[in-house]
Chain A
Amino acid sequence: MTNHWVDIKNADVILIMGSNAAENHPIAFKWIMEAKVKRNATIISIDPRFTRSSSKADIYAPMRSGTDIAFLGGMINYAINNGKINSRYLKDCTNALHLVRADFETCRASGHPGRFSGWDGAKYSTTSWDYQYDAVYQPNLTSSAIQIAKKAADLNDPNCVFQRLKEQYSIYTPGMVERICGTPQALFQQICEVYCNTYQDHLSATQLYAMGWTQHTKGSQLIRTASILQLLLGNIGVAGGGINALRGWHNVQGSTDHGLLFNLLTGYNASPQNIPKHAKLGVGPLDPIDTYLKDQTPLAVDPDPFNPPVSGNWWANRPKYVISMLKAWWPSVAVDTSYEYLPKRHKDLSHISIFEDMLNGLIKGLFVWGSNPAVAGPNAGREGSALDKLKWMVVCDLFETETAAFWKRPGINPATIGTEVFLLPGAAFFEKKGSLTNSGRLAQWKDQACDPPGDGGDELEILADLGEEIKGLYSGSGLAKDKPIQYLNWPYDPRLSTDLTEGVAKEIHGYVLATGALVTNFTALKDDGTTACGNWLYSGTWAGGTNQMANRDPRDVGTGGVIHPTGIGIYGMWGYSWPLNRRIVYNRASVYQTGPDEGAPLAPDKWVIKWDGGKYINGGDVVDGYATARPSAYYPFIMRNDGVGRLMAVKGLAEGPFPEHYEPKETPLKANPLTNGRGPLTDPCVYVYPGTVFANPGDPNYPIVATTYRLTEHFHGGGLTRNLPWLSQLMPEPFVELSEELALAKGLRNGDKVIVSSARGAITVRACVTRRFKPFQMNGQVVHQVGLPWHWGFAAPSPGASANILTPHIGDANTRIPEYKAFLVNLKKG
């Protein structure tokens, strides 16, 4: 989340799209209802199916799964055509005025419909997806260099980003939205009107999204589309605005922050790749040869380095964060050497890829912690067979999940499985202490409430013991490849604490190597190897030696210990929000940047920060970087090297610098309506895993669109909730939701058994016939959609068919997140 849970109460319009907060994040509705009661906020729910969230919405619109970019692109087009854009915000806070290279062409250029310039038939060259630059300016040999970007005088310049954006979305008309999404034009326009009205300074709209936006072949581009809309309306950085990912587990934000993903080290530093330019660590952007830090540390981009505002370019600090992390892991080793210890990523190693590698015999052993991929993974049948190929597997969980019991799944003879399985008893969240980071980046410390039953143990202790054991095994080795294990600082520097959990948390916060003294926060980290810090974003959580995550002041305290006068819900002394206890990121954009009203908030009744001419006044949020610098000193988006919110993504994501609608990999359409079939039907950059079978476009054998989702009553793979009889009685078995029209066509009645089949497999579930699904009248045809909750598996208690037997192995072009949310099926009576 750019903002946070409590802040939802400040919104004037709440867009629930790609998420179902009432169902999956019920506590969100505490704040949604407060916005509704106190601000008369309008709730908009857009979903293929009328959900529990839709039941509380002022406006509900149906939309076919996988067409969100067309919908949001239509909203962008509406905002621009109807002058419902925040021009001042666009000029001051975004790259709307930046001039784009003359050889850049949008998807609307003739000659390559549906594609940007640079396509060579198989992939893109991104050269043209860039600004026009004047020169590179470097004040002296040791200082950072600055690229001088050209800027237009006004938004009408045909070569500025804004005009290219306008061109890109010019054909995303209400008629086109109806044709692609199946959303009636009038309803679509009503939503545009209400939503885009928040272009006014004093109003804001928030977007609540979750897996309904991310789990697509073009999930990253989908989030980009939503961000562009928010920038056009001036809704980023302000209270009640932002783009807000509702995370699916209580600590999924924390695990992402701490480098859980294969492509990341901690704190969103990219993991090095097995490429020549990542062979050496280097020192930064001015390295004479190609190095990792040269590649990863951006040069500032600034239209005028001699006059403020200038670009904050916070990632210029990246060397300090990477080097301090290396020092936390291998304090006794020079960083050039410890960098060599880091594994160099030789290919994609995301979820699907790991399972494909198991199938191909490349991975022999697997640890599974608190996860149940045999139920939760896509193409679950294929992922089950992948586990058959392992030599060993360790599962640490509270119950014997389907993953732990894969060798006795239906239709399998356990005697044919050679995998040795170890099941370790873990601890539930209340059976161990530590921090949890929620969607709003708020880290909250919790104490242990009770001991785990039996032999159950804290996973941190299990990991620490395992590490000690492994270090012991390698202690006598003289081989160079074993040095990373031998020199590893495990589990943490004993000067920090006598307690394992606290010691690890303090190492994450950071300390001075020579003394063991804790640093104040990440501004004290150095790139000379004298400081150690596990994750720079969490540097500040132990400021002053006190566990800031354990703060529990229930008052709405802002900066300087002052209570916010209008109570926007900062609660600054409750837990600790990264970075630097900031609750709303990019908050420099919430005030006027220049002119006589510099520093005055766009929305005075819900101000986030406020500049009085000499300083930021107390009681607000922690200012986003450069806390003593006046608003006009820096561009507000300090994490970007150009300092501005990007309508156009320079160098782009894989598919281009602006998002374009493509159909899901499995689509009921034979041609993309956007380009009348002249452009690509599906995402041209998507990664297709060999060995996965798909339905054809418009496949008569699989004519029905399907999506998967979760229910309030169950949690993910069901390992926890299917073992709780109170919850199982509420939702005892899996089902498929379908419209009355489709039920009639297929001869199905409510509660009937029904076989749902895809190109990957078939499952038998109950029918839930409902008016909450309606057939889509779109593109001159009728398209039916159904939906399936996916919490079930074969293991007792409360077993049931897994919906992920049906879902495909295909990943987003940028992140390879699986496309769980749009695929094709057929139904027949079971």
Chain B
Amino acid sequence: MTGIRLLIDTSKCIGCRACQVACQQWHSLPSEDTVFTGSYQNPPDMSAANLTVTKFVETMDTKLNWLFFKDQCRHCHEPPCVEHCPLRAIIRQADGVVRIDSSKCFPTRCSTQQVKPCQDECKYDEIPRYKYAKDGSIVVTKMRKCDFCYDRFNNSALNAHTRKPACQIACPPGAISFGNADFLMAEAKDRVSYLKTHGFPSARVYPGDSTHIIWLLIKEKDLYGQSE
């Protein structure tokens, strides 16, 4: 596969959520209303204010596991959202970045349904979002999702070594890698074969070679709430 890639290694993720805050900071997104619902996972899901959310899952097999999954747009190599946007507001760059041009996006105009075409066609979890809760009411926005921090890549205002996605820079244990798509897939596969013989027989790459964001999971994908 050509282009760039982000590899999220869940065997290294400590669930600190620095990525969530770094994302909000770079995109100048507001905080949203939350309550404590009984889980560390908060806000409970992605929204127009939180483009990435770490999912916390407690599962029991031979021992207790606390799994962390940094959920976000996968940046599909062949993104259905691009194809099905009636306003052609979603762009797929040659490097694999899939992003929304908010000057062309009008969620109230493209469909009268609550679920918009880009959400409906998304293979994952209706990932582009256009609402969030703030001060007791619902704020409606343009469609928003992870844009790979594409505006950091060639940004001369940043130090050269920080011209990468904000979440990758912020990750304390180094669980997020950014680079060439093929190189990172090879690295992920190497790490999977190592982990398989070092305590994680179910280690795998998710979703596969079809996306520019990939995860290294230590358990089956359904345990992370992922069916696709």
Contacts and interface: CB of A to CB of B under 8 A. Distances in A.
Interface string A715-733: 0000000000111111111
Given A735-B36, A771-B58, 8 more contacts: A55-B66, A729-B43, A730-B17, A750-B39, A766-B36, A766-B38, A768-B39, A771-B60
Contacts of B15: 22, 52, 55, 712
Please indicate which of the listed interface residues B40, B42, B65 has the most CB atoms of chain A within 10 Å of its own CB.
Answer: B40
A29 B173 contact: yes
24 contacts: A23-B14, A26-B16, A26-B173, A27-B172, A30-B174, A40-B198, A52-B15, A52-B66, A53-B14, A54-B66, A55-B15, A55-B65, A726-B24, A726-B31, A727-B21, A730-B17, A732-B42, A750-B39, A751-B36, A751-B37, A767-B38, A770-B58, A771-B64, A772-B66
Contacts of A54: 66
Given A29-B173, A751-B36, A730 B42 contact: yes
Contacts of A768: 36, 38-39
B64 A732 contact: no
A55 B38 contact: no
B16 A712 contact: yes
A288 B67 CA distance: 67
A533 to B, nearest CB: 37
Interface string A251-276: 00000000000000000000000000
Interface in B172-223: 172-175, 198-199
B172 A29 contact: yes
A60 B64 CA distance: 9
B228 to A, nearest CB: 25
A50 interface: yes
A713 interface: yes
A58 interface: yes
A293 interface: no
A729 B31 contact: yes
A56 interface: yes
A85 B17 CA distance: 41
Contacts of A770: 58
Nearest to A735: B36
A53 to B, nearest CB: 7
Please indicate which of the listed interface residues B15, B20, B43, B173 has the most CB atoms of chain A within 10 Å of its own CB.
Answer: B173
Nearest to A25: B172
B188 to A, nearest CB: 14
Contacts of A730: 17, 20-21, 34, 42
B199 to A, nearest CB: 7
Given A40-B198, A726-B25, A29 B36 contact: no
Contacts of B60: 771
B17 A712 contact: yes
A764 to B, nearest CB: 12
A50 B14 contact: no
Contact of B173 (A30, A60, A713, A729): A30
B157 interface: no
B38 A726 contact: no
Contacts of B175: 33
Given A29-B172, A772-B66, A713 B17 contact: yes
Contacts of A50: 64, 66
B30 interface: yes
B91 interface: no
B68 interface: yes
B1 interface: no
Please indicate which of the listed interface residues A33, A60, A733, A751 has the most CB atoms of chain B within 10 Å of its own CB.
Answer: A33
A33 B199 CA distance: 15
A769 interface: yes
Interface in A605-632: none
A27 B174 CA distance: 9
A725 B31 contact: yes
A54 to B, nearest CB: 7
Interface of A: 22-23, 26-27, 29-30, 32-33, 40, 50, 52-56, 58, 60, 712-713, 725-735, 749-751, 766-772
Given A22-B15, A712-B17, A732 B172 contact: no
A517 to B, nearest CB: 38
A55 B12 contact: no
Contact of B36 (A52, A731, A749, A772): A731
B120 interface: no
B32 interface: yes
B35 interface: yes
Nearest to B17: A730
A488 B198 CA distance: 63
Given A40-B198, A712-B16, A769 B36 contact: no
B28 to A, nearest CB: 11
Contacts of B35: 732-733, 751, 766
Give the interface residue-count category, chain B. Answer: 35 or more
Given A40-B198, A55-B14, A55-B68, A729 B174 contact: no
Nearest to B30: A725
Contacts of B199: 58
Please indicate which of the listed interface residues A26, A54, A725, A729 has the most CB atoms of chain B within 10 Å of its own CB.
Answer: A729
B18 interface: yes
Q: Which 10 A-B pairs have the closest CB atoms?
A: A750-B38, A725-B31, A22-B14, A29-B173, A26-B172, A55-B66, A751-B38, A729-B31, A26-B16, A766-B36
A361 B39 CA distance: 45
Contacts of A732: 34-36, 42
A773 to B, nearest CB: 11
A728 B36 CA distance: 11
B63 interface: yes
Contacts of B198: 40
Contacts of B18: 26
A769 B37 CA distance: 10
Contacts of B30: 725
A734 B35 CA distance: 10
A806 B47 CA distance: 37
Contacts of B65: 55
Nearest to A769: B38
Nearest to B198: A40
A750 B38 CA distance: 5
A702 B159 CA distance: 56
Contacts of A729: 31-34, 42-43
B42 A731 contact: yes
Interface string B50-68: 0000000010100111111
Please indicate which of the listed interface residues B14, B43, B68, B172 has the most CB atoms of chain A within 10 Å of its own CB.
Answer: B14
B14 A26 contact: yes
A29 B31 contact: no
Nearest to A749: B38
Contacts of B36: 731-735, 751, 766, 768
A727 B36 CA distance: 13
Contact of B14 (A29, A58, A713, A769): A29
Contacts of A751: 35-38
A97 to B, nearest CB: 41
Nearest to B49: A729
Nearest to A765: B36
Given A730-B21, A771-B60, A33 B174 contact: yes
A33 B12 contact: yes
Contact of B16 (A33, A52, A60, A728): A52
Nearest to A734: B36
Given A22-B15, A56-B14, A729-B42, A30 B172 contact: yes
Nearest to A751: B38
